[in-house]
Amino acid sequence: MVSQPLRSIAWFKVRPGCHLDFEAAFHAAGMLERPKQIEGFLGAELHRLLTAPDEYFVLGEWATAASCDAWQNVASTGADAAAIERLTAVLADNRRGQLLAPPSGT
């Protein structure tokens, strides 16, 4: 039996008017590229809400919960320090990535 990939979600609320700075800093910090160093990382995408343009989600796919945890433990390390500083400066709030489960009964 082949197991399905695990999905994760992380939420970011950006200070009003700072979405372009957030996107630039997010990419400069390699937040979608650096996880490729983690065994079991299958991919991730950054999405912006149409109805709340200062809110972003990262949807990730992982082979195991341990691979997701490994990324969470190093997400802010190994990146360009200035990019992480810029990223942090434009955030109003954020929630660490969490693994998702399908609804009960599926």
Tens-place pLDDT, residues 28-49? 999 999 999 999 999 999 999 9
Q: What one-character DSSP code corresponds to residue 32? A: T
Angle between helices 81-90 and 19-28 (to 10 degrees): 150
Q: Comparing 79 with 54, which gets the higher pLDDT? A: 54
Q: Is the distance from CB of 95 to CB of 72 less than 8 angstroms?
A: no
pLDDT at residue 76 greater than cutoff 80: no
pLDDT at residue 1 greater than cutoff 50: no
Q: Is the distance from CB of 13 to CB of 89 less than 8 angstroms?
A: no
pLDDT at residue 27 greater than cutoff 80: yes
pLDDT of residue 106: 58
Distance CA 88, CA 65 (A): 26
Distance CA 94, CA 36 (A): 22
**Residue position matching structure tokens 């990939």:** 5
Q: Comparing 55 with 79, which gets the higher pLDDT? A: 55
pLDDT of residue 105: 64
What tokens appear for 74 in the block?
Answer: 């190093």
User: What does the chain come to in residues?
Assistant: 106
pLDDT at residue 77 greater than cutoff 50: yes
